[in-house]
Chains A and B, each alone.
Chain A
């Protein structure tokens, strides 16, 4: 572990997908899903990733979980270079990272009982002796707020929120140090979403977990996160303390995003703050948010999208300071 407590660090990670193929199978162009992202997560910290669909936040999550190999760049987990290690199958590192997905139903094998869903990974990775497996499964289930009688049942017997709890329990079964949550509350009702968000927050405290929380519901991501990164077209445009990002946004995109989120107060009605849609045709030079930005001017054609510190607030960086 590093001095500053960094558990996961990525450096200039890129993930390109080929787009269109010529007759000989060569790519005509690339979709730059993740385009040079560097972030780090400290132990016990939750980093939130927000952005519109197409911003590359889910792809980044998959790269971090080792489900996709980055086209370029390095991923370090506790100083181990994962891009090297993933080439060798099944190193122990894999169990230290877990991922939870949006669709809890299709993430659970419909023909397995909950007990097997929870114990199979533990058995495979020899997390605990065979005789203790049941107790361990029970402990996990209690941890996520379900009762013992759930163990003998099948996934279809549970509601969406309960299924997501099972997914969380399974993710915890290998005693990971970092959990990547990809839109885990998007399919749930608000009252259930609140239950899951509170659960994640409690688990983080109790188990000293590090988390990456990806979502498009700004309020929900903000609620569980300590730090927030805003993504636009494969790049991080702003990163700051979660409480600060929406209160004093520096980047015009963050500002627009925050204003678009519907505030539950009829006295604060707002017009749409952002016109147009996210266009995957990224401008070759300059700021990629330029076509939709209200503050864009000539200088943005050449502006770099490197993150610069915003004032003297530690940890607050932005690719543009026009929004301040």
Chain B
């Protein structure tokens, strides 16, 4: 190829992962479609869970997705490696290192899984196979890497073993020999999650997607795991995509933040920028719902009334409208994700002019509404 050198130059600017108009829906029709062409059966309901999400992730970037349950953040993460159940339908483009993943066959995608993009899941107990030892599951990931690199000499059993041990040491498990021969149920929650991370690192991925990796863990262990992610990100230039509902974790780790609500990205900005100048009313509300350990004793926690709407694919206009304390008439129209400040995107038509005003208002503390 003659374009090779040129392409290398572009490599640096080209995003590692680029997602364009990713829309995901669930329902029976998705399955019927494969079998009977495009004719869906009559009266079949399909629920949209993610609506035209676009973003890109640079090499070495630490990108956080934050949102409540039902915001579509986990579904989005799973769809990248096509790990969603069969009744899902995914539209849009997923470009990883310039390669269109949605066009790949299952077998083709297997070359990306583990070695290009690796994943760490929420519940480390159920995410590890209960009947295999850590050794067996970790070696499987290590071998996968060599299967990918054809031509290279496969490491010997001893080399694999020492590789496994060094991986466990790297994720902060001090007794790799002991851990290797244990079954997942014999490990603590933190140890299990570290094993999961070791498995993910075994394939030397350029992107690590972590879906709520510390939700099931204690804050002390969570802090250790986050340290590890930051270290991997900083020292080894591994891109990390962290999915979480914890705004505190976002502040502690992210370079860039995407705030998700009801299947859409509602705000995207650099982390300091987002926490200093939250533009979307939802982001602002979210920041005020988190109780801290050093809060003013008289602080009144703000709560967002109501809950994430059920079938949000059908809502016309702003999807936060029902719960928003700053809504106006223009909110009845569909909102676009616009760059309001340089590098700071927001999906709220009022953010541009009312941002300043609204911030002052919420600083005084919001009113409390019951849920329904």
Contacts and interface: CB of A to CB of B under 8 A. Distances in A.
Nearest to A161: B371
B219 A261 contact: yes
Interface stretch (B78-86, B124-132, B290-298, B338-346): B290-298
A277 B190 contact: yes
Contacts of B272: 266-267
B223 A195 contact: no
B246 to A, nearest CB: 6
Given A147-B372, A218-B293, A267-B272, A256 B68 contact: no
A262 B304 contact: no
Given A265-B275, A267-B272, A219 B293 contact: yes
Contacts of B248: 261-264
Contact of A262 (B223, B275, B287, B307): B223
A271 interface: yes
Given A162-B371, A189-B69, A262-B251, A52 B220 contact: yes
B304 A260 contact: no
Contact of A274 (B223, B247, B250, B297): B223
B221 A264 contact: no
B59 interface: no
A197, A243, A264, A265 pick with most chain B CB within 10 angstroms: A264
Contact of B251 (A190, A193, A264): A264
A53 interface: yes
Contacts of A199: 370
Interface string A191-225: 11111011100000000000000001111101100
B271 A262 contact: no
A145, A191, A217, A258 pick with most chain B CB within 10 angstroms: A191
A270 interface: yes
Interface in B249-288: 249-252, 254, 271-272, 275, 285-287
Contacts, number: 158
Contacts of A193: 289
Interface residues of B, number: 51
B371 A145 contact: yes
A222 B293 contact: yes
B69 A277 contact: no
A270 B252 contact: yes
B222 A260 contact: yes
Contacts of A257: 219-220
Contacts of B245: 189-190
A256 to B, nearest CB: 7
B94 to A, nearest CB: 27
A269 interface: yes
Given A243-B297, A263-B292, A195 B219 contact: no
A159 B371 contact: yes
A299 B275 CA distance: 44
B93 interface: no
Contacts of B147: none
A190 B219 contact: no
A218 B300 CA distance: 16
Contact of A266 (B188, B254, B290): B254
B289 A190 contact: yes
A265 B247 CA distance: 9
A223 B295 contact: yes
A165 interface: yes
B54 to A, nearest CB: 24
A243 B275 CA distance: 25
Given A146-B372, A191-B286, A277 B293 contact: no
A263 to B, nearest CB: 6
Given A190-B245, A264-B290, A195 B295 contact: no
A260 to B, nearest CB: 4
A278 B302 CA distance: 34
A106 interface: no
A246 interface: yes
Nearest to A149: B372
A247 interface: yes
Given A191-B285, A195-B371, A270-B223, A263 B218 contact: no
Given A191-B68, A194-B290, A262-B246, 4 more contacts: A52-B218, A198-B300, A220-B291, A262-B226
9 smallest A-B Cβ distances: which pairs?
A145-B370, A262-B248, A219-B291, A194-B303, A272-B223, A191-B304, A194-B289, A189-B68, A223-B291
Interface of B: 68-69, 188-191, 218-224, 226-227, 245-252, 254, 271-272, 275, 285-287, 289-295, 297, 299-305, 307, 368-372
Interface of A: 52-53, 145-147, 159, 161-162, 165, 189-195, 197-199, 216-220, 222-223, 242-243, 246-247, 256-275, 277-278
9 contacts: A147-B372, A191-B304, A197-B303, A246-B293, A263-B293, A264-B292, A271-B223, A272-B227, A273-B223
